[in-house]
Every structure is written in structure tokens, then in C-alpha cells.
Structure 1
């Protein structure tokens, strides 16, 4: 007799969509299967259960499902976008916490265990495919555990399911120490990797399925997270203990964790290279116009994120195509002055000034360090000249803050006077669309639900081939990138820098590859020639700061900043700064370009981890609440 298990929602019907042009390989789920026995009587039914295990994957890039977009400080928004924006404004709570994942992901883990415990009984499943399916579900178990650990810290590990007749004291589980959590996640990924394919051979039917590069890339990210200050020697969490006194955070720092992470990152990079992955460079099969190097560089940057399945995408979430289309509509604005009445697009996503200021100057160093850049006069006014016309409309008066910035600034941001390439205008030798964002102008505020709330727009989300017409807006949705090769490069630079006494050529190599793609000189050259702190890159502390800022810039708006600030333990510094904007109610440049505080954001030590719902605490008193909640 097969055991019965404690689990809810075993046969939840959820659909994972792939590319609109592809067969929807994940849209099949158990058809009202009454028992677990029936779910594993044949290959077709077991495959449906496999896809149910996939169906719990958090939807990165979905405003309602991805805490990384609106829970921090990277994008400020209007209060109608759901739970995560309440977290950004300090409204988190223990009764029905915003963005709570606990129940759903534990349901996912129990379904994964049921699959692993029963897939061996499927009679018409060949052993090679069985091994692959087992590896995929072990990966999913690792990912779901990792997602919970990033949110809640130490969690109860669900290695196997409890039988329904288990003793009460057995079912009242406790949280496992965080080092044990990371060890188990690593173990699952190590077990999964050998049986996963190096690439998906048939993207039409299998796009989004787990591959070996995905598993090794996630392992690298897991181990870097485990080595980071939030989890490695975090004395702030030393009093978090189980009822029996078990300490859940080891307060002693371990350099060995960084050593292990660096090895994992390098191995993942080598595997990705071996299957042909490389940093994306814009090189379309059909080039209608001979673009300038300025616009080609911007296309390298924009399309590394927005070009579906490009050469550096290791893992992309295929569930979020519909959400991605919505995201682009909310990020886009009115480019065409002939179509001012188009209400299909909103232009609501708004980067605060501190995000704008984190981008480098054109010399590849922070605006606070560039000896040639007028930091103190950054809010003054300047008029664009002919040589700047591919960045800012010629003869347009705008803030000095918008001048002489790195290419990623112009590729990722829209702003008053800024050029917005594409959207139907692809010849950069002709006049291109530009924004007018002062009060009641076509891209400014002054109309209901119209215009940014900070004066800046998220250009990065908007595919350059989207087109606005008189009554509608056509988008080119793309799977949301979860891990790009550039992510691995910077994780490796970070881990290697922490594991060495001082940075070496290998640390610089991978960050410089990303900088070169972004149109910047090397770290060594940029700091030596332009920084007020020219030796900064030669020591571990200085290089750490450089790597952190490089990650903030390269992955801006990609759901990375929230998790990075937490694992670095820098959220208390960054998320206690006010959200500032331009003075949007002004019609003149002199009035408009004045910083105004929109919101005073606060972040306390308790906010590094989500609260566990009071309902879960009440149901099991062995689960201790996170500190401060």
C-alpha cells in the first residue's frame, strides 16, 4: 500500500506558458487524477506531475510575483501595483505578510518529494529520461529551498515527506541552521547536474526546461549568497535560536565559503563557454541602416536583456510573457508627438535620482570620483550640442546630471530631452524620438495616470522594436532573464576578490569584459586616469566597492538589487535614503531641475528577512519568528 502524505494542493492546475511561437510544453497538468497511484501509472501522467512541479516557479518579472522589482528602492511607483510596493514603503506585517511565499513553496517541495518517491514506478519511462526528470525535480527542490532561504533565512528543510500517521512531535519541525540549508541546496544541485542536458535540443517543445548550465549557474549564485555577509558570520542574527537552543546563524566568518564559491563560479563559466554562450553583441541578420557606434553600443546593452534567448541568457523564465508585455506597457511612454491621445501606454515606472546617480560618467568611474566631472554642479543646466545629439536632443536644455554619462545610462533610462532610439525610427542619421517631461508636456505629469513620478523612465524594459500606433501599442515580449552570463562573470569577480589577499588579473578580466561590452575602458585604466582615488582597484576593499557598483549598474531593474543589497548587508544604508525626484510640477528648466523629496524610506535590521506568518507560528510553536517581528 502506498503511503499517504501530508500535503495540500497536490494536483494544483497551473499553466506555464512558453514563447508564443512555441508549443506550450508546460501547459499539461494532471487531469483530475484522484490518487497518487494513478499519477504514476504511465509516462504521460507522470510527465503531467513533472510539469506541476515546475508550475510553482516564482514568476520573475511579474509585478505581482517578483519582490525584486518594487520591494526596494530601484523603481518608485504608484500605490496600485500590489503587495510588494507596500514593503518598499515600510508596511510589512506579520499577519498575512506581503509577498508571503512560505505556504506555496512548501507545497511545491512536498509535490517534488512525491514525484521523486514515485517516478521509479512508471513502467513505460526509459531510464535516461527518468534520470533527467529526477534531476529536474531535484533542481526545483534546490531552487525552492534557496528562494525560501533568501526570503526567510534558516528554514525547515523538507528532504522527504512525513506520512499522515506521523507522531505529532515529528510533524512539529524546527528551522534548520542556515549553513545546513545551503549545504542541502548544494547537495541537490550536485546530484541533479550530471543527468541534465548541456543544452535544450528542441527549443520549440522544451524552452524553459532545466539544463546543466542552469544548475551550475544557480549553484554559483547559491554559494556566493552563502558566503556573503548576511549569511557568513552575521553576528546581528546570533540570538536567533530554536526552542532547544540550536543557533541558526553561525556568527563566525568563513573565508573558505568564498573560496568554494569562486571555484563554482569558474566551473559554471567554463561550462557555459563550452556550449557556445557568450556576452551578447548586437549583430542583426538584416541591418537596414548603417548605425553609429553610439547606437550599436546601446543596442548591445538593451538587447542583452530584452532580446529573447540571446547568446548570454543562461536561464529565462518562460512563464512571464504576458506579465512582460504588461511591464513594457507600464514602462513605455509617448514618443510620437503625433499620437498624444494614445492611452495604451502609461510611462509609470520611475527610477529615483539616487538610481540615476549610481551610473558612471563617460570615463567609467562614479560621478563622485571623476576628476573631470562637475559633481557639485550636477543639478545645474546645460544645453546639448551637435556632438551629443544621439544622447540628448540638440539644443535641448536639461540637467548637467544627464550629460557625459556612460552608455548604460542612456540605454537604460529615459529622461527629459533624452533620445529614445527605435520604436519605429531605426535610422540614427535622422531625427529620433526624444522625451519632453516637464509639467503637462507629452511625457510629463499633469494628467491623471500619466507620466513618471520622478522625472525618469525605465527604458531597459522596452524592446526597441515595439511600435505605437493611433489606438494601440504593439510589444515584443521576451522571457525574463533570471541568470545571464554577465551575472556569472560578476559573481566570479566578487568571489575571487574576497578569496584573495588582493585582486589580481583574473578578478579584473571578467568585470572588464562586461565594461567593454558597455563601451567603457578597463577598471585599471579608468581609475588610474580619471578617479580621485586612482589606487582604489588595487586593494580588496576598493575592488569590492567597484564590483558592487558594477552589479548595481549592469543589472539595474532586473530584480537583482534587492537581493544583492540584502546579502551584502548594505540595505540598511541604501534603503534609508530618501526617494528624490525632480520638481515635476514646474514648466521651466530652472524650476523643474530641483531635487524634491518624494518619500522618506526606512529600513531596519528586521527587514533583512521576511516575517513568518503568525498563522504558521501558531500552527507550529517550534517555528521561531525572525528577529524584530
Structure 2
């Protein structure tokens, strides 16, 4: 296949100089490598090609590279913020689609295949290491195919590269049925697992390299996705066929897919446990400070995401360190009233009111069904008391919506009157930072270079040890978590619930572990004692709704909501509503705490999948376009 090796390999150029300890690990093949043979003449060159295969990984946490942040309804920003925000506003197009990954990920698959075809030629490569590298690249092939399927649905499977003298007709590939895509993805992971290490040997130089827990966790997510309504028995996609009549979706629902997903999730969980992974809990190293259980719970939630390489991080992307640093400054607000002249702190990534309302009450049930929570008066005013001072500034008047909420509400969100723990103040028996977010207040709208649009802020993104020094804000970087153990627990609970006739103790066990870390009682206790629908958890459909809500809350702002709403086929319901905010132009509480519509989102059935670029359709007439585009 590779007789004519004068063809140069095209490589993606990445700016890696800011990757700290990961710089060496992420070096890619230089531009002046003239031939394929040169790239595989020795171990050092082959390793650079290996890292080229890694370099195509989408950068989760990067506003310019991650659709999960701005392409849905979880975060709102100023108009024309970027390509993915255009998708959220309903402006997707078939000519140069926003966020198009087709060409780049197929280039990645080509380079992965080149590596697999040639790594056997490297003379000074230890066989055990060779097997590990091969497994890593097979995993990457699976991941890149999976990313394509989530975006586009059925895609052409690229098992091997074509010979350079292949018939041109062979190069005009067709889309493979979506079940075949998922089967190929899981087969690649299965082939990879055995030769992957349980953990990385040297975290300093190998952080982010693929391990067995990562592989099994991704397989679990792949199979849960394959079993979900968007891909499992989706009759609305029955008309999507290749030109030769090959159906690309099976419209018949299969429970077996959920059975397989449940098995895969449990296997991944057991392996993660065997290497010491567990849900993170906050144990500060500054024992000189007073930390109450309330603060510890909030910090266990907040740091499970933002504390790098903590005990529940299964997989994180080390390439995202610079992007996450930028994200922190865009999410941060001026928490310190003595430091109000720092241009990098903007507070512009704003959760809409619908997201603030999504979190549970303090009783662990939705505020719409908590019989002790006054939902109809959620926009009325209330003043914080002494016993609420760790969440809301004592004697501060704010909306009823911000009171009596679960710990994740206070851990993830900043708001007018809300306490902002950390950032240099760690003794919660003393006065802590709090926000003032009405018009022209220090955290409000109406000032130059400050563009919050809803009145809520994403505290979850901001590492609690970031501090303002002089005219700058120090930032503690962390790699963006792709899969956390809590994510895997909830995937397992979801798969178990769909696999069984009625919810079982195994289903409750894993969702309740997540809730326990979040400071909540069990599903059974919370719904029985506080819900207007106390039997909800007893049925598969009721438990499905509970698990979905739990995922949306636990994984809020982590690039999960967009994909979950799509695979559940719930995006059409959630993304056809109004994006609302507080009335940001008001100085008085009575005027500020009124919902204002910012934008009316629209989402059609065609929006469940990205369009394939018209240029790709024109170049390859065997490709059929997604329905509606």
C-alpha cells in the first residue's frame, strides 16, 4: 500500500508552547519530515507521529472548539460571540456549517491508519510499548468515529486507508448504517483495552494518555448513546438512506442495547474502583481555617470538576489548559470590592433563568414539585437571615428563587447577594466575598468591558484559589474533564433503569451516591417526603425523568447537556423556549427581579444532526445529506 512513499503527510499545526508539563508529551511530527518512512525510522520519530494522532482531539472547554458550551441553551452571551453561539441562535447552515468537524476528524482517522500501517517497521521500539501505542491509536480511531456519529449520525467508517493508486470510485465512500458505526467503535475499543495500562506510569509526562479505565468508560458512554432514543428505534430517521437504498437507521427499538450498555457501565465502574477512583470530597490542606460542613459540601461539588486529577477524574484533556484558563477569566466576576479594574475578568458567560430554576430545592426534588417550596412566588423578594449566611449575604434582599436550594445551586452559580467562597478567603466563620449584581453595581451590567446578560454567573468554572493580585487575576489551570466517575455512575443508573422492568436497588445505589456527595438524601426519601408525586421513582418512566434531571444538574456546564438533550430526543422541547434573564437595567431589587426575554430559541427535527457541508456532498456524490438540510 505504501510503495509510493514520496507523498508527504499533511499534519495539523497546534500551538503547544503553553502546555506546561505536557509539552513534551504533545510534540507532533514536524513539517520537514519528508516521507512516511522517515516518520517510522526510529522510536522518537514514531512517537511524534503517535502524538500527532492525539493532537486531533477536540478541545473540550475551548469556546472555539467545543459545541457543548455555547451551542445549546445552558449559557448565554452577547450576540455574535462565536460560531457555536450562532447554532444556539438557530443560524446553522449547509454551506460552511458552524462547528464543522468532518474534514478534520477524517484527516485524523487517515493519520491514525498511517500510524497503524507503519508502526510495525520501527526497529528500536520495544514490543510491549508498540502494543500500547497501537492500542492508544485504535482507541483514538474509536473516539473520532464516535464524535462524528454524535454530530452527523451515520458516517462512513474508515477502517483502512485506500492505496494511492486506488480507483477514484473507491474513494467516494458511502455512509454506513448507524448500528454498524457503533459496532465498529466498540470493536476498536475492545481490541485496544488489553494492551493499555491501568494507570499512566508517569503523570508528569503522560497525563491524558489513554488507560484501561478511560477505554471502558468511553465504551460505556458509546453504548448508552447507541441505546438512547436518537439512535435506538428512531422512526423519524427511517427516510435517511443511501442512494442504493441502504437504510441508515433501524426504526425498530431494541432493549438489548440498554442491556449491553448496563453491562459495559458496570464493568467500567468496577475497573475504576479497582484502581482507587472514587467520588471526590473536599479535604483542604489549610487546617488553620474553620470550614463548616455546608462549605465542605459545596467545595466537594465545585472541586470535583475544577481540581485537576482529583480522585474521580477518569479522563481529562491536557490540551485544553490554555482554553480553560481563558474560560475561567470569562466566567469570573469581580468578587473583591477593592479590586474593580481588571479587564480580563468579565463575567460574561451567563446561565439563563431556566438553568437556575433547573436545580433542586434543598429537599432534593425539582422546585416545580416540592410541596414545601413556593414555586408560584419564586420571583418575589426575600431577605437572608443569619442561618443562610454561607449561601446568601446576611440581610441581603434577593429573589425567593435563590433561597432554599440544593448545595449544587450554590456551588455552581454566582448571583446577586450570593456568597462566593474562596478566592483568598477560606475561613467561613469570617466575612466572605459576595456579589452585587444589579445595574452598575460591581457585578452588574452597565459598565464598559463587562457583559453579563442574565444576572447569573458560573462559579463552577472558577478555581477557588484564583486570586486578584494588583491589576491581574491569577488562575489555577486544570485540564477539562471529559469523563468523571459521577458521569459514569449516572450512565449506569440510566442504563439499568431502561434495562429492567422496574427500578432496582442497583439503579438507586449509583444515583444516590452522586446525591449523597451533593448533600442530598436518597431519591426514595426525597420524593416520598417532599414531592407532589411521591411514587414517581417507582416506575421506569418516572425514574427516567429523575435520572435525566440528575445528569443535567450534576454535569451542568461540562459540555454534557447539549449531547444528552439530543440523544434523549428532548432538545426539541428544551430548545424551543425563551432565554430569560433578570431585568439587568434596573438598580432597585423590585425592578431587577423581573424576568426579561432575551431570545426565543427555535429547534427543528433537522437540528438533531449537523449538516454535511455542501462542499463535501459536491465532492462525493455518494454522500447523502441529513434530513431537512
What residue is the counterpart of 1:429 in the other structure?
A: 429
Q: Distance in 2 between matches of 1:550 and 1:500?
A: 19
Shift of 1:9: 5.5
Q: Deviation string for 1:183-235 (max 9, x for gaps)?
A: 00000000000000000010111111000000000000000000000000000
Please tell me whether residue 172 in structure 1 is matched to residue 163 in structure 2: no
- Is this contact kept in 1: 2:80–2:86, CA < 8 A? no
What residue is the counterpart of 2:64 in the other structure?
A: 64
Q: Which runs of 5+ in 1 are unaligned?
A: none
Please tell me whether residue 163 in structure 1 is matched to residue 149 in structure 2: no
Q: Distance in 1 between matches of 2:12 and 2:475?
A: 31
Q: Distance in 1 between matches of 2:562 and 2:66?
A: 11
- Is this contact kept in 2: 1:199–1:212, CA < 8 A? yes
Q: What is the DSSP-based 3-state SS (H/G/I as helix, E as strand, rest coil) of the residue aligned with 2:495?
A: helix
Q: What is the DSSP-based 3-state SS (H/G/I as helix, E as strand, rest coil) of the residue aligned with 1:339?
A: coil
What residue is the counterpart of 1:247 in the other structure?
A: 247
Q: What is the DSSP-based 3-state SS (H/G/I as helix, E as strand, rest coil) of the residue aligned with 1:158?
A: coil
Question: Aligned runs of 1:468-507 on 2, under 5 Å?
Answer: 468-507=468-507
- Is this contact kept in 2: 1:238–1:249, CA < 8 A? yes
TM-score by length of 2: 0.98
Q: What is the DSSP-based 3-state SS (H/G/I as helix, E as strand, rest coil) of the residue aligned with 2:377?
A: coil
What residue is the counterpart of 1:621 in the other structure?
A: 621
Q: Which runs of 5+ in 2 are unaligned?
A: none
What residue is the counterpart of 1:41 in the other structure?
A: 41
Shift of 1:26: 1.1
CA pair 18-160 structure 1, distance change in 2 beyond 3 A: farther
- Is this contact kept in 1: 2:156–2:176, CA < 8 A? yes
Moved more, 11-20 or 543-552: 11-20
Question: Aligned runs of 1:397-416 on 2, under 5 Å?
Answer: 397-416=397-416
Q: Distance in 1 between matches of 2:499 and 2:268?
A: 17
Q: Distance in 2 between matches of 1:127 and 1:516?
A: 45
Shift of 1:14: 2.8
Question: Aligned runs of 1:509-520 on 2, under 5 Å?
Answer: 509-520=509-520
- Is this contact kept in 2: 1:6–1:162, CA < 8 A? no
Q: What is the DSSP-based 3-state SS (H/G/I as helix, E as strand, rest coil) of the residue aligned with 1:175?
A: coil
- Is this contact kept in 2: 1:18–1:318, CA < 8 A? no
Question: Aligned runs of 1:339-378 on 2, under 5 Å?
Answer: 339-378=339-378
Please tell me whether residue 142 in structure 1 is matched to residue 142 in structure 2: yes
TM-score by length of 1: 0.98
- Is this contact kept in 1: 2:152–2:612, CA < 8 A? yes
What residue is the counterpart of 1:50 in the other structure?
A: 50
Q: Distance in 2 between matches of 1:462 and 1:294?
A: 19
- Is this contact kept in 2: 1:39–1:46, CA < 8 A? yes
Q: Deviation string for 1:303-341 (max 9, x for gaps)?
A: 000000000000000001111110000000011111122
Shift of 1:285: 3.4
Instruction: Count residues in correspondence.
Output: 629
What residue is the counterpart of 1:456 in the other structure?
A: 456
- Is this contact kept in 2: 1:435–1:443, CA < 8 A? yes
Q: Deviation string for 1:104-133 (max 9, x for gaps)?
A: 000000000000011111111111000000
Shift of 1:22: 5.4
Shift of 1:478: 0.2
Q: Distance in 1 between matches of 2:378 and 2:136?
A: 51
Q: What is the DSSP-based 3-state SS (H/G/I as helix, E as strand, rest coil) of the residue aligned with 2:184?
A: helix
CA pair 623-606 structure 1, distance change in 2 beyond 3 A: same
Q: Distance in 1 between matches of 2:391 and 2:285?
A: 26
Q: What is the DSSP-based 3-state SS (H/G/I as helix, E as strand, rest coil) of the residue aligned with 1:626?
A: coil
Q: Deviation string for 1:229-249 (max 9, x for gaps)?
A: 000000010000000000000
Q: Distance in 1 between matches of 2:212 and 2:22?
A: 22
- Is this contact kept in 2: 1:61–1:480, CA < 8 A? yes
Q: What is the DSSP-based 3-state SS (H/G/I as helix, E as strand, rest coil) of the residue aligned with 1:195?
A: coil
- Is this contact kept in 1: 2:6–2:35, CA < 8 A? no
What residue is the counterpart of 1:32 in the other structure?
A: 32
- Is this contact kept in 1: 2:28–2:55, CA < 8 A? no
Shift of 1:250: 0.2
Q: Distance in 2 between matches of 1:367 and 1:427?
A: 31
Q: Distance in 1 between matches of 2:574 and 2:153?
A: 21
Q: Distance in 1 between matches of 2:18 and 2:112?
A: 21
- Is this contact kept in 2: 1:349–1:457, CA < 8 A? yes
- Is this contact kept in 2: 1:8–1:107, CA < 8 A? no
- Is this contact kept in 2: 1:5–1:162, CA < 8 A? no
Q: Distance in 1 between matches of 2:14 and 2:140?
A: 16
Question: Aligned runs of 1:6-405 on 2, under 5 Å?
Answer: 10-15=10-15, 20-21=20-21, 24-30=24-30, 32-405=32-405
Moved more, 118-127 or 187-196: 118-127
Q: Distance in 2 between matches of 1:489 and 1:89?
A: 33
